[in-house]
Structure 1
Amino acid sequence: MNAIVIESAGKSKIRKRLAELNVPLLVLLSMIAGAGVLALYSVSEGNWNPYAFPHALRYLAALVVMIGIGITPLKFWLSVAYPGYFATLGLLLLVPLVGDTNMGAQRWLSLGGFQLQPSELMKVALVLALARYYHGLEFKQVSSITGLIPPLAMIGAPVGLVFLQPDLGTAILLGLSGVTVLLLAGISWRLVTIGIIAGVGGAIAGVQSGFIKAYQWERITAFLNPDADPLGANYHPNQSKIAIGSGGIDGKGYMEGTQSQLDFLPEMHTDFIFTIIGEEFGLYGALVLLGLYLAVFFTTLQIAMSAKSHFGRLLSFGIAITFVSYVLINTGMVMGLAPVVGVPLPLVSYGGTVMLSMMAGFGLVMSTWIYRNQDTLRTTGFGS
């Protein structure tokens, strides 16, 4: 009898948490993923395979994962933040040893027929670990040397490993996400200025020493001089700008894009998918998609501000910045406003690990929303 009562109480608790899900966030994310299915269907010339149908299935699976993470108490994610970070760091260390190489980059691990990209998982694991660290730190320690060494090491280790894969775009995103959490935690602006100067100096030294790969530097110089090498380094961004510009205000029509349908565009199903939307749906379609992204961003910020726990606030703010950084870098890249660094458009570009990591991140945001009234989460150990 007692077992039946406990089981019934457990189911009732789950139903209650499901009823507390943030429905606007779920709808917005589903609309963005739906736009991805439409674009991938067009890329495949009106076929569900090889991209559109798997993308839809992956989103549904990732949605279940997100909801599962969301209804799990926030204090659980606090307790697994460090183990999750170090486990993901371990996967990154395995990449140069046993990782798969594709298009000159070694970024993936093969797990039972599924390719896993640990660098994408690290984007969420890093924010989670940093939020855990600062949750247990007194404010006066935030800008102290002893308070800064652990988070800088936590950021620097994965950034360095990802840069060596080489994956400049993801390394930049990891750095941005990590530094954003530091800023939100209250780090001194004097230290931020010193960090920016040191970062610029390090980038210059990296170029001069040859540490930055030749093709990476070529992409940067191509961005700075868009008229140079139109058939080489600037070919892809030029074709992308032609496609977006030819879409005009209201687009050429669904599946009627000449640049995309005639295969002038590179990586149409991943990095340059926003170009498809711009060409076929025009300025209106592009603005609608960007509006959806903006709505997700502000909804996430609202959830962050509603949280009573410092951990929940930092976690949700960090995920929001990671998400919007993806969007800004990708759209800037395909419109010629940023160098081509290989960053996908979240929930729209084809890719399983990116989809899983982003939805897991929003699962943590959802957990923050459901458990927003928990103002004290006990911490022990490192950073407490």
Structure 2
Amino acid sequence: MATKVIVNIPGEEAYDVRIGTGVLDALGARMRGVPSLEQAERVLVVTDENVAPLYRDRARESLAAAGFRVPDIVVPAGEDTKSVEVAGEIWEAMAHLSLGRDCAVVALGGGVVGDLAGFAASTYMRGVTLVQVPTTLLSMVDSSVGGKTGVNLTAGKNLVGTFKQPAYVCADTGTLSTLPEREWACGCAEVAKSAVIDSDEFFFWLVEAADALAAREEAVVSEAIARCVVFKADVVAEDKTESRGVRECLNYGHTLGHAVEALAGYGTFSHGAAVAEGMRFAARLAAALAGASLEFVAAQDDLLDALGLPALAWSAEPADLLAAMKRDKKARHGQVRFVLPRDVGSWELRDVDDAVILEHLEAWARSKEECS
């Protein structure tokens, strides 16, 4: 039984997110129900070398059965693929195929494919229809919904990008059966982030369901995805382009997390593992600056542990971490901004002085040395 969540963002066409085992087989039929795709003839599937052998044929068969012509592009797997150079190769391929504004791009894969294909779709001929078909837990609960697309630069992640809402999201939970444990835990970090920022109800549900989610119990997985989609859709509806400060709550844990990824080397730790570390750091910073209780800090630690996201046995020079944070796109006027939780479901966005950040980074680094 599939779950349907309707994402309704002011100024945009509402779109469905279908969640459940087997919904990939109805991809073509569901897309024909999208007004912008009723008369479309061609759909470009963009996927990567890991996902293509597993799910490309199923997606193509469903789309062909609905009357679409279906060329595809397979890109290398991994974060390095999310680049201006690869986006350019996709644009050139689309032009070579003589794809017009009436085509659609289907992003079949995880967050890298979703961000990259979404960026290509939003910029080719100034924008064609985008459909997201996430195949990882992380992309189902986060990146496939909300409209952010992007590519990385040498200077940092996602420094070039657009806002492009999909016309439809097809989250087939059956594809998660092939996900490695590292990537499963990566998605769990974003579930935990959403629960902490959203509400007591979501947080305490997740505390109770943590073991079942870590064990990939189907009903719990589907509910976790649906809860995250509803949470994110509500946030994005208030702040579609991250201009009012509301949407920045979705960056909880990412300030230190992105710096960890950059300094450790992309791929050393999963995005989720880095974000979880960032959540631990931000909670402790919040205890010093925003009135968060030590009980909250401990409860979050316990939840992350239960989801397979232990504290990282890694550190770096505090000055290097601070410099990486300042290069992040969320920094403003040279000031590093943190999402600081006062408690579950309550947060504030704060510019934090360099000296304060360095003090806490030094304490964080010492804690790593003491555990080694």
Task: Please tell me the TM-score bracket, short chain as reference.
Answer: under 0.3
Which structure has greater helix proportion?
1
Task: Report which structure shows greater RCO (CA 8 Å, sep ≥6).
Answer: 1
Please report the TM-score for the alignment, with normalisation by the length of structure 1: 0.21
Name the structure where strand makes up a greater proportion of residues.
Answer: 2
